[in-house]
Structure 1
Amino acid sequence: MSSSIPLFQKFGYRFSWVGMIGLSIILFWGIMALIAPHIIPHPVGEIVDEDYFGAISSRFWLGSDYLGRDMLSRILMGARYTVGISLAAVSIACFSGIVLGMTAAVVGGWFDAALSRFLDAMNSIPGKLSGLVVVAAVGSSINVLIVTLAVIYTPGAYRFARALAVNIHAMDYITVARTRGEGILYIIGSEILPNITGPVLADLGLRFVFIVLLLSGLSFLGLGVQPPYADWGALVHENIGGLPFGAPAVIAPSLAIASLTISVNLLIDNLPQKIRDRSA
């Protein structure tokens, strides 16, 4: 008996229930990131509880933090920064890496060699170390975080896209396209890109997870999103003192990070079979 969902089978996609669960959680956090300012029960910076690290109650569904602020409101607003910054960074990194990788594979020669060696050198620097150095030196504004994270993960996206593009570029139909006199833009856009879409989407999802974890790590060290704003990593950092009390102020944002990253992995592992077949 097939575990796929009939709704997606009508459109030629075979999507498992596990993939749908992952997709549903991702969509939930994406929607929360968009509508959070309109649904949070309390202003994120307002002290609404007389007791710090307050317990879960009918008024405070996830308790309160170290200052008595509502944790549910802060987690929902934190989704805007965790999801938003990570999505912007991974979009820039993957777009830059894919374009450069395909171009290097098609052009070849000195351009390919020089670009590959330069990005290899960048890739050899540990991501967290370079992120710490840049953010500590320049500052941790949202724009700096996005650019820093994008630069860190562009070399990996480039290597992955170039490896795929080199294999496709060796195919006979690429030779035929060159014989017809097609240019580089046509070969990249019409011949190579459609044939690497599936693996590229999977790689984008993985890099999104890496960026979420790196951003959370930077925020936990105090170098991420700065007060009064906070992403999920910053929420863990500022409430870590409440862990001995068993307060949900530490557990809840940690579970939010885990739910998002695990869901992306579940979705990647259960991509519709039609996408896999197309990219095979």
Structure 2
Amino acid sequence: MQLEFIGPFEILLGLVYRFWPVWLALGILLALSLGFKRRLGLYGQLFDTGVGVAGVLICAFWLFTAIFADLVAPFAPLDQIFVMKDALPGAVEPETGRVFLLGGDKLARDVFSRMVYGSQIVLIIAPAATAFALMVGTTLGLPAGYYGGRVDTVLSFMANLVLAFPVILLFYLLVTPGIRETAIPQWLAGFFFVFPIVFFGTLFWTRFRSRPRLLAVQLAITVLLGGWVYLGLVFDADPLGIIAIEPNELNIFVAVVFASAPGVFRIVRSLTMDIQTRDYVAAAQTRGESPWYIMLWEILPNARGPLIVDVCLRIGYTTILLGTLGYFGLGLAPESPDWGTAIKESSRLLRAYVHPALPPVIALMSFVLGLNLLADALREQSLKD
């Protein structure tokens, strides 16, 4: 069957039109951010530089794309229209007249729609895994830097032991199919995912232990929410059925936390060793505050600048690692629309058909670029502070 095609200018207009919810959300975000930037603290200061604005807009673009994926994408990620196999950009689907704006892949799926839905996977796994790694590294790095001595020696040795492995090799060992069939990923998940509960429980205890009613409410919320997420992530037993994670997704999640937490640990440890010499820490010690109160409420808030910068960069690194794993076939399921898997699938016919590989590559590059720009702007602001 002979396919009809639209021109390059119409393709560009079609892409701009499909992203209309994203443009609307970006406009609202930009207007509110500029209007209230003096009240938004560190986030508002990002809009004082062009690098900061660019970083925020690029990251927000992909965030809103993931949120409004159902409105932006004209097809479902697994929809197959066999006449559109390896169709070039701008091909018109004969029956309905809908356009494959960026062409079709080797399984006759819309490349543009898969790129859009792939943003959902990347923006869930990378930030969430980085957040858990931040909790683990912070919870262990604070006492290592504050107490020193044997505590520091033992925890630093464990962190250096993990850092001694090449990252790709470490990921390969944790995500390889042989490990997936064992209980090791679930055990690691059970260990790592308890850290947020411990962190927030300790945070509220040290702050509100003199106000037992308020403390009881906060601890109850922490245990209930933390236990709910814990059951869903570790045992896939969410009683509400909201949190569900596939075994291969759990493996990747655990691998990211395991590989990233030691780096966060070293940063938090170094910051703690520096900040604990400040006068306000000595004042808190003179008042008789507990060590964990000082670590969580005096040291950690003053270490937030470098940590925020590191989180932005680490999300970018994690995104690249997810793409690398997908390219080597160690990522998500083969039918997944995530960008790494899409690049892998399209690379097999790269000499004949280039167009299926370009959208996920550009998406991956632009998202990481936005995170790097955001980190640069945050670093500049933190140095000023």
TM-score (norm 1): 0.91
1:200 aligns with 2:307: yes
- Percent pairwise identity: 31
Aligned residues: 274
Higher relative contact order by CA 8 Å / sep ≥ 6: 1 or 2?
Answer: 1
Deviation at 1:9, TM superposition (A): 5.4
Contact 2:322 2:340 in 1 (8 A): yes
1:135 aligns with 2:202: no
Equivalent of 1:168 in 239, 257, 275 = 275
Cα distance in 1 for residues equivalent to 2:378 and 2:310: 12
Q: Aligned letter for 2:365?
A: A
Aligned structure 1 segments of 4 or more residues deviating by more than 3 angstroms: 5-14, 272-278
Deviation at 1:174, TM superposition (A): 1.5
Counterpart position of 2:133? 93
Greater shift in the superposed pair: 160-169 or 222-231: 222-231
Greater shift in the superposed pair: 209-218 or 167-176: 167-176
1:60 aligns with 2:100: yes
Counterpart position of 2:144? 104
Counterpart position of 2:332? 225
Deviation at 1:98, TM superposition (A): 1.7
Q: Aligned letter for 1:28?
A: F
1:154 aligns with 2:261: yes
Cα distance in 2 for residues equivalent to 1:69 and 1:152: 34
Gap change, CA 1:227 and 1:72, over 3 Å in 2: same
Q: Aligned letter for 1:27?
A: A
> Aligned ranges for residues 11-50 of structure 1 at < 5 Å?
11=39, 13-14=44-45, 15=47, 16-50=49-83
Contact 1:44 1:77 in 2 (8 A): yes
Greater shift in the superposed pair: 27-36 or 160-169: 27-36
Counterpart position of 2:351? 244
Gap change, CA 1:180 and 1:264, over 3 Å in 2: same
Equivalent of 2:317 in 210, 218, 221 = 210
Contact 1:53 1:247 in 2 (8 A): no
Deviation at 1:261, TM superposition (A): 0.3
Cα distance in 2 for residues equivalent to 1:275 and 1:95: 21
Larger CA Rg, structure 1 vs 2: 2
Q: Which runs of 5+ in 1 are unaligned?
A: none
Deviation at 1:38, TM superposition (A): 4.4
Contact 1:63 1:247 in 2 (8 A): no
RMSD between aligned residues? 1.9
Equivalent of 2:115 in 68, 71, 75 = 75
Cα distance in 1 for residues equivalent to 2:371 and 2:156: 29
What SS does structure 1 have at the residue aligned with 2:274? Answer: helix
Counterpart position of 1:257? 364
Deviation sequence 1:211-247 (CA, Å, 0-9, x none): 1111110100001011322310000001112321353
TM-score (norm 2): 0.67
Cα distance in 2 for residues equivalent to 1:83 and 1:138: 25
Greater shift in the superposed pair: 180-189 or 50-59: 50-59
Deviation at 1:53, TM superposition (A): 2.1
Greater shift in the superposed pair: 80-89 or 138-147: 138-147
